Each structure stands twice: as C-alpha cells, then as structure tokens.
Amino acid sequence: MQQHLNSDPVDLFVIGGGINGCGIARDAAGRGLSVTLAEMNDLASATSSASTKLFHGGLRYLEYFELRLVREALIEREVLLRAMPHISWPMRFVLPYHKDMRFDSETPTSRLLGVVMPWMKGRRPAWLIRLGLFLYDNLGGRKILPGAATLSLDGTAEGAPLQDEFRHAYEYSDCWVEDSRLVALNARDAAERGATILTRTKVTRAARDGDLWRIETRDSDGGQTRIHHARMLINAGGPWVGDIIHDKIDLPSREGVRLVRGSHIVTPRLYDHDKCYFFQGTDGRIIFAIPYEQDFTLIGTTDAEHDDPFTSPVCTEAERDYLIGFANRYFKRPISAADVVWSYSGVRPLYDDGASSATAATRDYTLKVNAEGGAPVLNIFGGKITTYRRLAESALERIGQHLAVPGQPWTAGAALAGGDFAVDGFDRLVGDLRARFGFLDPAQARRLVRAYGTEAARIMGNAASSEELGQDFGAGLTEAEVVWLMDHEFARRAEDVVWRRSKLGLRMDAAQIEALDAWMIARRGSAAAAE
C-alpha cells in the first residue's frame, strides 16, 4: 500500500484523543506550536466519555490527605465553569448522614482514627464530615458556588425519596460536565488555532529518527497510511499509555499504569428535584445518584481492577448488582436490574503508586519525559477530568524544557466554543433561541443550548420551520445538527453523534440509529467523491 509522507515536521505529535491529549493540543496550538493529534477511534471514545461527569475537587480524596490535588481541582471548578457554562453547571450534592457510615479501611484518615479513637471502629463521626466540608469550601478560593450547609430531610423534597431512617444531611456544591462534549470542543478549538486533528487514525509505529520522531499512522476507515515527523512525541494514550511505551515506541520504562474500571448504571428518574445524592456505604465506598438527561438517574461508580486495555470495559452483572444494592440502602422505592435502561464502563489509567487497592490508588497525574537517545517523548499517567487544563499547562512546562514554546499560559480565561455567556445566563439564552425560532419546543431549545451554547442559533441558520432543518432522525435530531457535528466536531459515525456528542441514544431506537449511520456514511462518500 502506498504511503503518504507529511514532509514538514511539526513541533508536537499527540497520540490520544481523550481529554488530556485534546487539552494539550489546544494549549500548545494556542501558544504557536505546530501540532498533529491522532486518535485511533473517535474523540473521547474511551475513558473521557465514561466518567461520572463531574467537575469536582474529590471530597473523598481528603481522606487520603491529597490536599494538593483537591485544592487544584477546587480552583479549577470555577475556572472551567466560567469557560463552558453551556456544558457545565453547578449542582448541589446531598450527603445523608447516619451513624454507621464507615471509612475505607485503607485511608490514612481511617488508620489515624483507628489509633486515636479505636472505639469508633471505622465509623465516620459527624464532626469529621463537617471538618471535611469546611476544608472543601475553603481550600479552593470558592467565589461562585454556594458553600456547605446542614439540611433536614423531614418533609423536604430531598428527604422524600429516601428511607425514613435518614433524618439529617449535609449539602455542598460541585459541578456537572458533559465530558465527551468537553473533549470535542477542546479538539475543535485546537483545530481552529492550527492543529491537525486526525480521528480514526491509529499510530502503528513511532521511532526516533535523529532529532525527530518518525510516526506511522493508518486511517481505520480507508486504510490509508502516512508518515509524520515531529520534534516531540506526546503519549496521551490513556489506558493504552503502557502499550504505546513498550510496543509502539519500544522504550525502556520503569513507570507503570494501573487500570481501574469504573462502571455506571442509568435508570428512569428516581426523584423529582435537581440535586445529586452522595451515598456512603458500610464498606467505606461512596457512590453518586445524579439527575441525568432530564428523564433519568445516573448511579455510579465502582472501582475494579482491569487487566487488559484491549478488553473493552463493560459493567458486569456483579457491578450492576453492587450499585443497585448500594442505592437500595438509601432509596425508599427499591430498584432492580429490570430498571436499568443503560450501563457504561470506563477504564481510568492511574499512575501505579503501589497502592493496595484500586480505590486507594492516586487520581493525581504524573508526567514523565524520556529524552535519552534523541527526540523527547512525554508520557502522561493518570489525571482526572477536572484538572485536565492544569495538566495541559504542566505538560507545556515540561515541553518548554526541550522545545522553544513561544507563548504564555492562556487557557484560564478563554471560553470554549459556545461558552461565551455568563454562568447565570443559560435561561436567558434559551429564551432568546425560542424567541427567534418559535417552532422549537422548550425541551428542544434547552437541549440545543446545553450542547452548543451561543452557537445553537448558528446551527438553526435561517430556518423558519422544523422542516427547513432537513431530515428528522428521531428524538429531535435533525439533519442541520448532524451536518454541524460532522463539519465542526469530527463526527463520522452515528455512535459519535448519539453516544458522545449527545446522549440521544437513550431516546432513539436501533432502526433510527442505523438510518442515521447510513446517511452519514453516504454524506462522507459524496464529500470524498467531490474532492
């Protein structure tokens, strides 16, 4: 097969189109570096679309004394909220309290209290939760989000769905984020600043070639192969970071990655208010129950070892039943496997710090540069979605030790596409969209603004009726929106649209999704023939 050579070397070649890879590509392109990014599947096709979808400091990480990680994440919540108020928004979290709440026995806090307060036998005292929430409120310089409060569950909307034994709760703030849309918007911004984004393009081999990296790629759809050259390689392969080190670039490395599977289930909506529950178990673990896509509730997550990155993660029956049993210890109306309408699972590529369990393994990120024998490579381990922007800035600091980086940090004050409106301006934007396009019903308008922010009107164009938006694929998805996603957000297949750029797969049937896929394939074929 003929190989195509990209003759001019770029500064950075990024392997991996998850949030870390796309965040680094965006930051680097905005500073004036030339960047190519290759993702073997769709953007956010693995870990970055399978999170619990929260911008949060990680309240439970305080038990591990990870104060730096928590502080950085708490600061980032509000930085990110201002940059993307369409795909991220504040949420209040309700933490019901009862005296049998326990620590994970592996946490430093648990071991310390076991020494000084052995009569507690691993239980979390109320004063300790209040102390944790005080730290959570004050570590990150909170300005937008309201602080923690105590809450009575008697006769309240928050208490109505819970079993009667729960009489009191604590309430605090964190933020929701549409994780896979976050990745797509970072990739789009990177491309608009000059980066080349190659989806469904697999790196088959990379080797040092003098002062450069020589990278071979293959397009998964057409089979076309290319040769690229770069001054520095960025390994943001997520679960595949170890495979890339050992099998693709063949470098000796003592650094290890620990794969931890987190699974979630989705049920029909279990309660009427818009707050999230933070449930603590008698085994020391925690789960969330979160309002999801208006008509559903998201419950997760688990922590289980995952041995092979090439084995697709799935929510096992055991994990599903664990989450159901956990939730049923709190909710009055029990749920069963029959209530689960969808489940998903993702693999977190954590830095292997030797922790004794998956739950105890650090969620902090680790950046390692190898420059022995030629052009440098930066390997990225771990990280969490809330700190992706800071990880990218840290990566650029490491890159700057090997390449001349012309620009300065800039992403903290820069809105993502569609996010150029005030944090409290969402309802006004929905009203403006409905006033301009009167044929949109309230639910349609809210979904479009949640996904596209100020760009929703651009997708509508000059349409005076829903018919002028083209073919209706179901669940309110129109031809105009699909064309936008293909032309601006790198979508190629129906799964990219209905499970990552949106979650309309929850509302569309198999026949509708198949018809959408056929339409998208035909459109791509027509575009290719016209070139």
Residue 42: CATH number of its domain: 3.50.50.60
Q: Tell me whether residue 58 is in a domain.
A: no
- Specify the number of domains making up the chain: 3
Whole-number pLDDT of residue 316: 96
pLDDT, tens digit, 9 for 90 and up, residues 103-160: 666 777 777 767 777 766 667 778 888 988 999 999 988 899 999 999 999 999 999 9
Whole-number pLDDT of residue 383: 86
- Does one domain contain both 168 and 274? yes
Whole-number pLDDT of residue 112: 76
Q: Tell me whether residue 500 is in a domain.
A: yes
pLDDT, tens digit, 9 for 90 and up, residues 20-32: 999 999 999 999 9
- Does one domain contain both 145 and 264? yes
- Does one domain contain both 483 and 366? no
Whole-number pLDDT of residue 1: 39
Whole-number pLDDT of residue 35: 98
pLDDT, tens digit, 9 for 90 and up, residues 264-295: 999 999 999 999 999 988 777 899 999 999 99
> Which residue range(s) make up the domain with 389?
10-47+180-255+362-400
Q: Tell me whether residue 305 is in a domain.
A: yes
- Does one domain contain both 191 and 322? no
Q: What does the pLDDT average to over 358-386?
A: 84
Q: How far apart are alpha carbons 74 and 337 in whole angstroms? A: 35
pLDDT, tens digit, 9 for 90 and up, residues 62-110: 887 888 889 999 999 999 999 999 999 999 999 999 877 766 667 777 7
pLDDT, tens digit, 9 for 90 and up, residues 300-314: 999 899 989 999 999
| pTM to 2 decimal places | 0.94
- Does one domain contain both 225 and 315? no
Q: What does the pLDDT average to over 223-235?
A: 96
pLDDT, tens digit, 9 for 90 and up, residues 500-512: 999 999 999 999 9
pLDDT above 80 for 213? yes
Give the position of tokens 């310089």.
141
- Does one domain contain both 129 and 232? no
For residue 383, the tally of other CB atoms under 10 A from its CB is 29
Average pLDDT, the chain: 92
Residue 173: CATH number of its domain: 3.30.9.10
For residue 455, the tally of other CB atoms under 10 A from its CB is 18
How is residue 356 annotated by DSSP? S
- Does one domain contain both 316 and 192? no
For residue 246, the tally of other CB atoms under 10 A from its CB is 12
- Does one domain contain both 140 and 168? yes
- Does one domain contain both 429 and 516? yes
Please choose, from the candidates 172, 222, 154, 198, the residue with its C-alpha nearest in 3D space to the C-alpha of residue 59: 172
Whole-number pLDDT of residue 282: 75
